[in-house]
A and B are shown apart, each in its own frame.
Chain A
């Protein structure tokens, strides 16, 4: 004969496993969403970069451009030249060409004399293709400038190196693993908290508002089981679901990062910069994806996640019982996610969030800062202890609050 807490826990989990809606939000979503987001956005960015660099662009020029147009096509074979007598501005406006190049008729003489000549790249900033084409044409014109400069220096008997005094070089003391952890520190804490909040929500709703909607709550309250036991069993089920979501999201994300590493390595060897997507996602440049979680990091992440999950599970359960049905519960619980995640996003973007000890005494915020620290291999025990104690106290208060709410007749028996 098992303890009533375990009986309730088992029943709630059986209910969960048999409910497609709960199963989807607790297991399938964190399993699929993480890699889909991670890999999908990156692949999309890579594809976009490829599109921008390899797509054929049309450049309109007047007769005044002379050989400059032909020179452009020799530098970038994907440039298609459109010689026209129409006003160049109209050509771009009417999308007959992506960009146009307006240059004075005497540019060859000016260049020969070493006098700077204005070249206007006419573009339409409301057209993405036009903006991208303008960038490519400008970059190609810079090549022209460099070639001219090298030629002029050579003519004067000077080496092009005369223009350079310092060659800046950067040496990073962070290991590849630390760099990867730093990048992951922007994403992983967010997702851990996201799944700690949302992973158990459907179970919480089903176990509380669902009981009221199905009219099973009274039969349950009639059993010789204390309200605390009842709440504890349900809490355990909600926490199990949420923790499962967190573990799945960490696992799938680790897998996705490994997949990304392989993808970046293979595309880098083929000469395409594939790291743009990841960089833009993480806000870092040169983001290293060589990401492995060591045992100590995993233990700390999971340990803190368990307490976070306890906090959010109790909160979800306490809020959901106020609702009379599933739909109402969703509208009550929905804002909880925003209330939690917005400050987390804010703190996550602060570079010096972990510099002050007090940040580790602020529930939820402390977990984010701690996760970031741990992911770069920075294990500071005082931070871990303060975070743990703060979260534990908050979680216990939330559980106590949930148990009290379940004792309230006006909440349980409101029709």
Chain B
């Protein structure tokens, strides 16, 4: 089932085309890699899909909702984890989760149930749930940020460079989370420039370079297309071709 479609989606910042004519169809139940070097337009694409930015032209639907006309429904359908872990440091982990749960319109009973589920899934524990976030290690913060992004049990999970700046253990938590989310039938959109992670995890990928989509397909297809032995090599070949 198609979860996200974009049609000639474009964003222009003053004189710069951050994204130009992005057209994609992404199905449920997979990890979809959005690959590209820094500044390629991945974050812009995610922000457009997530409705925090408005498109200059083109259109997109998320879980059947138009990003331009039904932004609130789109936001309810997605959970986004950004590269920078932002938490309210004076609130406990539970309060952080409850706050976002309330903003997603969940009632108290649902919030309590979701926190319990996420506690089991991500092994948050009382240290994360009942202490203020200001004292957390990076790994603990990452776990809480993941929990926050899915507090409303979204159908689509978008992760923007979720492993950058993380140590191996914290990065592993994120990668494991993505796999488990896919196993639950969710669509995981994984934006990264780390080709090894993408090759190991992604069912399909799209390569964006200088704001344009230059290739899409599964990992093997892209390797064949570029006559490369790894996704990293394929990525470099394809990017260089268009430069």
Q: Which residues of A contact B (CB under 8 A)?
A: 1-2, 4, 7-8, 11, 14-15, 18-19, 211, 214-226, 409-410, 413
Whether A222 and B53, one on each chain, are in contact in the complex, defined by CB atoms closer than 8 angstroms, is no
The residue of chain B having its C-beta at the shortest distance from the C-beta of A220 within the complex is B103
Min CB gap B102→A, angstroms: 4
B106-120 interface bits toward A, Cβ cutoff 8 Å, 1 = contact, 0 = none: 111000000000000
Whether B103 and A216, one on each chain, are in contact in the complex, defined by CB atoms closer than 8 angstroms, is no
The complex places the Cα of A1 from the Cα of B104 at a distance, in Å, of 11
Residue B177 CB within 8 A of the other chain: no
The complex places the Cα of A408 from the Cα of B148 at a distance, in Å, of 25
Whether B105 and A214, one on each chain, are in contact in the complex, defined by CB atoms closer than 8 angstroms, is no
Whether B53 and A413, one on each chain, are in contact in the complex, defined by CB atoms closer than 8 angstroms, is yes
| Known A-B contacts A223-B75, A224-B76; A217 and B86 likewise in contact (beta carbons under 8 Å) | yes
Whether A214 and B95, one on each chain, are in contact in the complex, defined by CB atoms closer than 8 angstroms, is no
Min CB gap B206→A, angstroms: 21
| Chain B residue contacts of A8, Cβ below 8 A | 103
Q: Which of B82, B104, B108, B132 contacts A218 (CB 8 A)?
A: B82
The complex places the Cα of A281 from the Cα of B186 at a distance, in Å, of 70
Whether B75 and A1, one on each chain, are in contact in the complex, defined by CB atoms closer than 8 angstroms, is no
The residue of chain B having its C-beta at the shortest distance from the C-beta of A415 within the complex is B84
B185-229 interface bits toward A, Cβ cutoff 8 Å, 1 = contact, 0 = none: 000000000000000000000000000000000000000000000
The residue of chain B having its C-beta at the shortest distance from the C-beta of A217 within the complex is B86
| Known A-B contacts A214-B86, A218-B86; A11 and B91 likewise in contact (beta carbons under 8 Å) | yes
Residue B238 CB within 8 A of the other chain: no
| Known A-B contacts A11-B99, A224-B76, A409-B54; A219 and B105 likewise in contact (beta carbons under 8 Å) | no
Whether A15 and B90, one on each chain, are in contact in the complex, defined by CB atoms closer than 8 angstroms, is yes
Besides the contacts A1-B102, A4-B103, what 13 more A-B pairs have beta carbons closer than 8 Å? A11-B99, A14-B90, A14-B91, A15-B90, A18-B90, A19-B90, A214-B89, A218-B52, A219-B80, A219-B100, A219-B145, A223-B104, A225-B103
| Chain A residue contacts of B85, Cβ below 8 A | 215
| Chain A residue contacts of B86, Cβ below 8 A | 211, 214-219
Q: Which of A4, A220, A226, A410 contacts B102 (CB 8 A)?
A: A4
The complex places the Cα of A293 from the Cα of B54 at a distance, in Å, of 53
Whether A222 and B75, one on each chain, are in contact in the complex, defined by CB atoms closer than 8 angstroms, is yes
The complex places the Cα of A15 from the Cα of B89 at a distance, in Å, of 9
| Known A-B contacts A15-B88, A216-B86; A409 and B53 likewise in contact (beta carbons under 8 Å) | yes
Best-buried of B53, B71, B89, B102 by chain A (most CB within 10 Å): B102
Residue B19 CB within 8 A of the other chain: no
| Known A-B contacts A4-B102, A7-B103; A222 and B90 likewise in contact (beta carbons under 8 Å) | no
The complex places the Cα of A410 from the Cα of B107 at a distance, in Å, of 34
Residue B60 CB within 8 A of the other chain: no
Min CB gap A240→B, angstroms: 17
Whether B52 and A222, one on each chain, are in contact in the complex, defined by CB atoms closer than 8 angstroms, is yes
Whether B54 and A219, one on each chain, are in contact in the complex, defined by CB atoms closer than 8 angstroms, is no
